[in-house]
Structures are given as structure tokens and as C-alpha cells.
Amino acid sequence: MKNTTVVKIGLTVAAVFGSVAPLWASVAAREDNSDLFVWIFLAFCALIIVAQLIPAMMMLLGFAKGVKKKSVQPPPAEHADHLTLPKGRSAFNNSSQ
């Protein structure tokens, strides 16, 4: 019994406050004619975003060109060993054999 009374009171309070909220919003609204400044601010934000997208797109295109390019052939084997000198001497031991 008491449970249905609480529900009825809760619904009544919610209906009253729900119908009054739009009235508060209309009273609180004001006209300040700042539309031009808002659009200038939004355009500046868009300019910053576009300025950051241009280098990102260039980098993405560079990656795509690198993937599309043929694979690089490895250098000849004679230049691959950097620890031995051409005369057969070791780079760590300077004594001649």
C-alpha cells in the first residue's frame, strides 16, 4: 500500500519538475550576438587540424611509395665483412703475417 503512494508522489514530482525545466531554460537564454566570433574560433580550430593532417598525409604517401618500391638488393659479399682488411690482416691485430 505504502509503496504505491510513494510511486505516485515520485511521478507527480517528476512531472512537475519535468514540465518546469524548459521554462528555466528559456529564461536563462540570452542574446549576445557573438555568432561571428564563434565562427572565427571554429575556423581557427579547423585550420589547426588541417595543418596537422597535411604532414601526416605526406608521411602516409611516403610509406605507400616505400612499400610499392622494389626490394633493395644486398651489397656484394666482399664489402660485407668490415672486420678484415683487404690484405688478409685482421682489424684488431696490426701485426703483419
pLDDT cut 70: percent of the chain above it: 55
Is the pLDDT higher at 81 or at 38? 38
83 Cβ partners below 8 Å, 6+ apart? 90, 91, 92
| pTM of this prediction exceeds 0.75 | no
Query: CB-side exposure of 70: number of CA atoms within 13 Å?
Result: 3
Predicted local confidence at residue 57, as pLDDT: 93
Torsion angle of C-alpha atoms 82, 83, 86, 87, degrees rounded to 10: 180
- pLDDT tens digits, 64-78: 888 887 776 766 656
Q: Is the pLDDT of residue 24 over 90?
A: no
d(CA 89, CA 91): 7
Which alpha helices (H) appear in 1-97, and where do they start and end?
Answer: 2-28, 35-68
